[in-house]
Structure formats: structure tokens, C-alpha cells
């Protein structure tokens, strides 16, 4: 049965090209997503706005590690990627420029009733 994490990576693979990512540094980010002592791995490569996704447990100019529940919140827009990193819920290592790029891949969380606009990151 698919879940929000699987759906997120399938959606990225189907996206193919994202004009918002054109002109940014090329690179790849490996996502190590854990659950119950097991880890799933996805390698997301970005070049000139083209996105490729493969299930791969090696490589990456940067690595994002999260448990599946936390990543599911990020992938569904319930939590901000950067906020989870700052809280220590997600760890990142490698090329810091890629993390600014990675943030663009995730949906924005819905605004709360008390939100007055602006960004929350």
C-alpha cells in the first residue's frame, strides 16, 4: 500500500522538469527514510530543472535522514522542511546549497487561521 512518502517520490519522478529549479547548481540528494529499523532510500538528481528519482542507497552530494512519520508530514505539507531540521527531527549533511533547492520540492504547509502572511521559514 502506498503512503505519502512513496507518493511524494513518485510525483517528483513524474514531474520530470521544474522550471523553478532551472539555473540552480546541479546535484543530487539522497533521502534515507527510516521506519521500524528499516530504511528506504531515494536519490533525487537535479540538473537544469530536470528531476530524476531512483531508489538507491548510495551516492548523493547531500543526504537527508528522517523517520517516515516526520518525512510524511513534510511531504504532505503539514510541516516545513527547514523547521524539522532546526528542531533536530531531520538531519542533513553535505552540500548546503542543495538544501535550499530541496526546500522547493516540498509543498507549503497550509496557513493557520491566525497567519498574517509572509513566510514561515
Residue 103: all three cell numbers together = 526546500
The structural domains of the chain, ordered by start, are 4-103 (3.30.1050.10)
pLDDT in tens, the chain (121 residues): 468 999 999 999 998 888 888 887 789 999 999 999 999 999 999 998 899 999 999 999 999 999 999 999 999 999 999 999 999 999 999 988 888 888 888 887 766 544 444 444 4
Q: Are 30 and 64 in contact (CB under 8 A)?
A: yes
Q: Where are the alpha helices (DSSP H) in the chain?
A: 4-15, 68-76, 81-86, 96-103
Half-sphere exposure of 38 (CA within 13 A, CB side): 2
Amino acid at each position: 500500500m502506498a503512503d505519502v512518502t512513496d507518493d511524494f517520490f513518485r510525483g517528483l519522478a513524474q514531474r520530470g522538469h521544474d522550471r523553478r529549479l532551472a539555473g540552480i547548481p546541479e546535484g543530487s540528494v539522497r533521502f534515507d527514510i527510516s521506519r521500524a529499523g528499516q530504511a528506504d532510500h531515494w536519490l533525487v538528481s537535479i540538473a537544469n530543472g530536470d528531476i530524476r528519482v531512483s531508489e538507491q542507497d548510495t551516492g548523493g552530494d547531500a543526504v537527508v535522514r528522517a523517520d517516515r512519520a516526520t518525512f510524511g508530514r513534510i511531504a504532505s505539507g503539514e510541516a516545513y522542511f527547514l523547521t524539522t531540521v532546526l528542531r533536530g527531527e531531520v538531519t542533513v549533511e553535505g552540500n548546503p546549497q542543495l538544501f535550499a533547492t530541496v526546500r522547493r520540492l516540498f509543498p507549503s504547509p497550509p496557513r493557520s487561521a491566525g497567519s498574517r502572511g509572509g513566510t514561515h521559514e
